[in-house]
Structure 1
């Protein structure tokens, strides 16, 4: 028997995109899959679209209707309802190539549940035929999930969550999504997943299409609540990773994560900046570390990180 793959899609006010997302899931060449839709209290007509698909494909699509509690709570509901051996998370406005799941399951065949699969993700706005590739060093195999995490943190790279295919056992070991977070919930969750993963295998032909966020999403990410949540997620990184390996290479990478946090919110939210700097100092890393683009790194080498931040702010 082929393993069952569960595609979990939390949905909140994505009526403009959810049909396209569902269609990309339904045309997967891998045939043993289910789709678990979780409506997170949408108010824009998304629910009627989800109900339409549940009615059209009752053997494949399961719909859960919930009050609005946020993406983490909705995703946790989806995990609880899913029956699959493998879990495919899919954002409600992102798309997958039709061979994505099949190729990754082939790649994972014969591997234990602690092996996780990834694939390339690309940016698009409206048309997937006009996508932009992202030059990332994460598009390869890694000997461990920790090695992939350190690549993320040292080079400010990321993996779209839809790129992963994860065994249910790995998710059960890592624990649920943190429902207290309002931003970077996926990064914090997959930090814990990767710390349990013994191997990361990259599938080079399947693809995920990551839709660029709209301006409303970007503005919401700049609020003080979002900044607090982001810092809480970084603190969770620190706690989780140091329990697995407390080493110079890990602390150097964590210092860069805190630097990137300060870089992103400076000069706002003074209390959060003080807390982030304090935690960065407590890591005990004496070596200079540099983040940001080439110009900012150049300024940091000559002026120091904090002075480079001030200059960047001054010149806009």
Structure 2
């Protein structure tokens, strides 16, 4: 594969959307500034924050950090603006409440310069209550180097449709080919964007030494929103992503992987959105069915084994149970 000269290390642009993240944006940016790799720029777009985020960002501004502001337009628009202001050969999109390990960018760049037509991925895990000591890895089948289609099928096989933006290091040329973030999407907009980007890459190269620390359980976080507009966004993103995959990868693995993320979507939203459930089920039927079981724990698992998952979900919804 084509190589890049490490005597002149490539510029890496870290693009961060920020909205009302006064509690976490400083820690996020500091994790980038503390990288062992120094030829980088941090581009932060404040998406119309109404808390102390703008003033905190102003204090963080330095020779490596550039700050821009926009009216509230959503994370996708903020990422697009940050990308358009970037100058790097390689791009990392990082959410404003996440953290990366100090050697992440250096480790990923070492792989990127010898595989510079490919996307580099990483490990990740969750931590809770803002306590990094609660961090645990979230191993996935796709934690390996794979051709693009196989990587996506591996990632989707368990039905999970969220791709963590911060795990990837992308060559600029891939973004220019795949296209920008869809600004009409909110919930799981990363699924649409990274499906297009990954399928523009021949391989996804896995870096076991790069770690994303995903802050989980934030009240008010986008991933916690289940209102109708957010759920519709998730449906549109899944529809776009599955069509993108199936236009290129036509085998049974791609069909099953696509059916499984639709099945997981149904398990998540049932019974609140019957129209979307019906449309998702029709897509599963067209794909030949799903192999994804209903996964739960504790009382929910025991109840589902007795009365079925649908009635269990109906009862939980009726009594507003978690």
Asked whether the two chains share a fold, i.e. TM above 0.5, the reply is yes
Stretches (4+) displaced over 6 A: 294-300
**Is residue 291–residue 297 contact of structure 1 (8 Å, CA) maintained in 2?**
no
User: Gaps spanning 5+ residues in structure 2: where?
Assistant: 1-7, 317-322
1:13 pairs with 2:20: yes
Q: Which residue of 2 aligns with 1:257?
A: 261
* Aligned partner of residue 209 in structure 2, secondary structure: strand
1:188 pairs with 2:192: yes
Q: Residue 288 and residue 239 in structure 1: after superposition, are their counterparts in 2 closer, same or farther (change >3 A)?
A: closer
Q: Which residue of 2 aligns with 1:34?
A: 41
How far is the alpha carbon of 1:10 from its aligned partner? 0.6
How far is the alpha carbon of 1:52 from its aligned partner? 1.5
How many residue pairs end up in the alignment? 305
Q: Could you say what the CA RMSD is over the residues aligned between the two structures, in angstroms?
A: 2.3
How far is the alpha carbon of 1:129 from its aligned partner? 3.0
Alignment of 1:1-316 (within 5 A): 1-54=8-61, 57=62, 59-113=63-117, 115-125=118-128, 126-142=130-146, 144-157=147-160, 159-217=163-221, 221-283=225-287, 285=288, 289-293=291-295, 308-313=308-313, 316=316
Give the alignment's TM-score, normalised by structure 1.
0.90
Distance 1:136 1:19 in 2: 29
Q: Residue 136 and residue 272 in structure 1: after superposition, are their counterparts in 2 closer, same or farther (change >3 A)?
A: same
Distance 1:20 1:161 in 2: 17
How far is the alpha carbon of 1:109 from its aligned partner? 2.2
How far is the alpha carbon of 1:51 from its aligned partner? 1.4
How far is the alpha carbon of 1:239 from its aligned partner? 1.6
* Aligned partner of residue 232 in structure 1, secondary structure: helix
How far is the alpha carbon of 1:41 from its aligned partner? 0.5
Distance 2:115 2:137 in 1: 29
Higher helix proportion:
1
User: Gaps spanning 5+ residues in structure 1: where?
Assistant: none
Give the alignment's TM-score, normalised by structure 2.
0.88
**Is residue 138–residue 159 contact of structure 1 (8 Å, CA) maintained in 2?**
no
Distance 1:82 1:219 in 2: 27
